[in-house]
Amino acid sequence: MMRHTSLILTAPLAYPFGYSDIRSIWPVSCLSAALAVPNDRGHSASEAHKVSRLGHRRADHLRATLSERDWRILQRLGEHGFLTTDQVQRFVFTDHASPATATRSTRRTLSRLERHQLIVRLARQQGGPYGGSHPASWQLSSGGARLLRGTEKHRATRPSVRWLAHCLATAETHLHVRECARSHRLSVDLTVEPDAWRHYLGHGGQRLTLKPDLLVRLRGEDTDGSFDDWWFIEVDLGTESLPTVINKCGQYAAYCASGSWDDSFGVMPRVLWVTDKQRRVDQIRQSIARKRSLADGLFSTSTLANLSDYLDGSAT
């Protein structure tokens, strides 16, 4: 019997999304400050993006000398737009003797890629309400993007607070899915937007686009046999109003009604909203329940902490 599940994520505006301790709550004001203050090297965030052009000769040399791990870092940054040092470590530096060693190795490698002008470090906040410094955030430089994608169409820009928070939250969710899959020994295929987007036709035949943040396929075995689950995951930081959330649910319902999912998935992926606050989970659940036009059983809502319960099928 095939279990049928899917997932969309929403989180309150906190940063980085899903951190396990109290420091997970990084209010927008702190993030704004981080983007405004000079970075570690005494440059402003905008100045940090002013890197000299990566010439063809040096690009060829880097292309030939970068390690497979270096490429994976660039690919992850290209995928998500922005990643914290911690997220890069959890994506790529997973085979070290200790987490501390992995952390040092991550920082050293990121610094080297920065020296090569392939990535850019965003300014970060030092100190704060709970002491300590906030993690550094990274993005591809224009040269790094050119090396990765072979295109000139990229300029490292200073992100808005909301966009940065959204990118980091999506990456955090991605990491949670992978870590959950690993701990439950599930096979996972994960697609990040815009590759996760899906086209479909509306009632009037107009061409519409469904824009989930993540598209996840999980395969494995449970007590009922093998399963092959598809999930749409949407990361929302609680900045959207509930009517906006419901409107988005309506788009998923329309996509479901269009039948466009049949060719891609064979089943309609379920949609899971995830937030890091139970209060927000309750609000979204109640709003969906009040909206009769939304298909029963299509939507689920969870905190990031409970994500594994959905992925392994113990929650619905």
Partner DNA sequence: TTTCAGTAGGCGAATGCATG
Partner DNA sequence: CATGCATTCGCCTACTGAAA
| Residues in touch with DNA (CB under 7 A) | 21, 23, 40, 67, 69-70, 84-86, 96-98, 100-105, 107-109, 111-112, 124, 126-136
- Taking the C-alpha atoms of residue 289 and residue 150, their distance in angstroms, rounded to an integer, is 47
Q: Which is nearer to DNA, 164 or 233 (CB)?
A: 164
CA distances from 147 to 47, 106, 138, 177 (A): 22, 20, 16, 28
Cα dihedral 245, 249, 250, 254 in deg (nearest 10): 150
Q: Which is nearer to DNA, 21 or 195 (CB)?
A: 21
Q: Which is nearer to DNA, 136 or 214 (CB)?
A: 136
- The least distance separating DNA from the CB of residue 261, rounded to whole angstroms, comes to 40
- The least distance separating DNA from the CB of residue 71, rounded to whole angstroms, comes to 11
- The least distance separating DNA from the CB of residue 168, rounded to whole angstroms, comes to 12
Peptide bond into 194 cis (omega under 30): yes
Q: Which is nearer to DNA, 46 or 111 (CB)?
A: 111
Q: What is the DSSP string of 29-65?
A: HHHHHHHHS--TTS--HHHHT------HHHHHHHHHH
- The least distance separating DNA from the CB of residue 105, rounded to whole angstroms, comes to 3
With the C-alpha atoms ordered 38, 124, 281, 265, is the resulting torsion angle positive or negative? positive
- Taking the C-alpha atoms of residue 311 and residue 5, their distance in angstroms, rounded to an integer, is 8
Q: Which is nearer to DNA, 16 or 220 (CB)?
A: 16
- The least distance separating DNA from the CB of residue 47, rounded to whole angstroms, comes to 16
Cα dihedral 123, 214, 175, 129 in deg (nearest 10): 40
**Residue 114 contacts residue 120 (beta carbons within 8 Å):** yes
- The least distance separating DNA from the CB of residue 38, rounded to whole angstroms, comes to 9
Q: Which is nearer to DNA, 132 or 250 (CB)?
A: 132
Residue written as token pair 């959207």: 240
Kind plus residue range of the DSSP H or E element containing 192: strand 187-192
Q: Which is nearer to DNA, 69 or 182 (CB)?
A: 69
- The least distance separating DNA from the CB of residue 61, rounded to whole angstroms, comes to 10
Burial class (CB in 10 A: 0-12, 13-18, 19+), 315: middle
